[in-house]
A and B are shown apart, each in its own frame.
Chain A
Amino acid sequence: MRQRLSRLDTTLSPYLYVAPFFLLFAVFGLFPLLYTAWVSLHDWNLLGGHTFVGLDNYGALFADPHFWNATGNTVGMFALSTVPQLLLALGIANALHKRMRARTAVRLGILLPNITSVAAVGIVFSLLFANNFGLANWVLGLAGVDPVNWTAEKWSSWSAIAVMVDWRWTGWNALIYLAAMQTIPADLYEAAAIEGASAWRQFWRITVPLLRPTILFTAVIATIGGMQLFAEPLLLASGRIEGGSLRQFQTLSMYIYERAFSRDFDYGYGSAMAWVLFLLILVASMVNFALVRRGSR
């Protein structure tokens, strides 16, 4: 009898433990997901009626230049912000992985951006990147460079947004890397030092390869977040959902919001785009995942 109970326990417990997540997800996650898929197959105005149109919305979005513009902006901003962010985080983690005074304070300090309120962040960075009276242009002026109209070009607006995003997340990623670095045994480095390897070489030949799974973990998380950029570009645009006079920095999330909630309330079209965004994120993350599997063998 005891044997039977114990075997029941071993077989059933895992399912019981993971059940809460799936139960909640089924109700609060899956239902909205499926509902939105259903909506995306209709010409569905938020305020009016709806008619079934099959895949028309999807066809329409592939022909929509604003959709492609938003997608290009999103991917570009994501790349521009993620790569420096993770590299910088690696560097900071490496710097922190040394003996020094006030370690705790520094480690907590670089996590402060995550608890700073969005309102404060928005205002500080709007002031930083304002055209006429912004701090960034003021500093550039000191260096003899012409002021940059940050919201007017793709490269400048993307850079400004990348700065905002990186500011918020670099410390977070650095601490993840730091934890991973702390599990690398000292003997590896000592052996390399004996052989005369410089700090630089040690970093690239020992630290980074061993950190590969971690790096890709952070890359996946960054992908999920980066493809959904909404708050930062909106702040740069002073709340205007078009993201620049010629949509220079309108992301996909912003365009979805514009069509579904603030322009013509085309809920069906917005839902279709949201599903395409989801698939995009899925693909990008799966690519990362595949690399992880291969890299850690």
Chain B
Amino acid sequence: MSRWVGNEKPARPGRGVGAATRLWQASPLTYLALVLAVVLSAFPIYWTFIVASRSNDAINDVPPPLLPGGHLVDNASRLLANDDALFLYGLANSLVVSLVVASSVVLFSTLAGFAFAKLRFRGRHALLLVIVATMMVPTQLGLIPLYMLMVELGWQGTLQAVIVPFLVTGFGVFMMRQYADAAVPDQLIEAARVDGCSTIRIYWNVVLPALRPAAAVLFLLQFMQTWNEFLWSFVVLDPDTPTVQMSLKALATAYYTDYSQVFAGTAIATVPLLLVFVVFGRQIIGGIMEGAVKQ
């Protein structure tokens, strides 16, 4: 099976034989199906914003309310005044943590991915298998010893505890490796070597630029995942140093939940995600996760 190189532009057959052209134009049925898919995908987020703007008992209505109400400011102000949640502080902490982790994961994953894909060294196959295997470890397996470790290091209750263990992920390495394999031509590296470039310069000047789209996607995915992480943060952090997910949980009171407040918070907490999403989303068009294509 030969390999296709040159993934800059998506293969866009539009000219040539008439029959082929017709096959490549989206039919009305396709449009309909896709619109349906998007509506279903977007509904819960849309509904989040709706509930955020309504009063509390609207949440159980069936059929669900489709139009925004007028309570958004009211719900939001209650949310910000809630001292138990420290919502703004939680937002800030989550921003810091997610940015640092996502950046770090991209950096180290591109380094390691490049090494696995393009450099020759003993044990590369075995080590790669180990990395993939680490992705299969159930999370609960390590919760308590990891917590004890954090206490020993004195990191319990600090942001280090939710950042340092996640500075590199197996998924990131695997993904970058796949992508580098397909997207970085061996010839380019050979040429650079002939020119006398050290490995780090090859990485910096040749590999990184080629990995840019996939790196952007990895950043996006990692940011999202870190932003939405709750369980570990909750175990190791204190309520006075919350992440945004912890703040949202803190809004839930003794026996019933003030949903309108919680969803106002959820809506606000989704906005940074949407922003990152839109900024990096352009990278998703055309030739993203090439790494998944070939081995």
Contact = CB atoms under 8 A, between A and B. Distances in A.
Indicate whether A and B are direct neighbours in the complex (CB within 8 Å).
yes
B147 to A, nearest CB: 9
Contacts of B270: 115-117
Question: Chain B interface mostly helix, strand, loop or mixed?
Answer: helix
A140 B45 CA distance: 25
B192 interface: no
Given A182-B11, A193-B17, A194-B17, A35 B44 contact: no
A260 B139 CA distance: 13
B178 to A, nearest CB: 7
Interface stretch (A48-56, A97-105, A146-154): A97-105
Interface string A184-213: 111001100110000100100000001001
Given A99-B26, A100-B31, A112 B60 contact: no
Contacts of A155: none
B228 A253 contact: no
Chain A interface category by residue count: 35 or more
B292 A138 contact: no
A186 B4 CA distance: 12
A112 B41 contact: yes
A228 B136 CA distance: 9
Nearest to B24: A98
A296 B3 CA distance: 12
Interface stretch (B66-74, B79-87, B90-98, B114-122): B114-122
Nearest to A220: B132
B109 to A, nearest CB: 8
B294 interface: yes
Contact of A214 (B42, B141, B248, B292): B292
Counting chain A CB atoms within 10 Å of each CB, the highest count among B24, B273, B292 belongs to B292
B141 A110 contact: no
A224 B132 CA distance: 10
B20 interface: yes
A29 interface: yes
Contact of A176 (B40, B44, B289): B289
Interface in A251-286: 253, 256-257, 260, 267, 270-271, 274-275, 277-278, 281-282, 285
B219 interface: no
Interface residues of B, number: 104
Contacts of A224: 135-136
A179 B141 contact: no
Contacts of B13: 186, 189-190
A106 interface: yes
Contact of B119 (A13, A135, A186, A257): A13
Contact of A117 (B25, B119, B269): B269
B208 interface: no
22 contacts: A20-B168, A28-B142, A29-B165, A36-B141, A95-B26, A100-B30, A100-B34, A107-B281, A110-B38, A112-B42, A113-B44, A115-B228, A115-B277, A116-B45, A134-B62, A135-B62, A167-B41, A176-B288, A179-B293, A186-B13, A217-B292, A260-B140
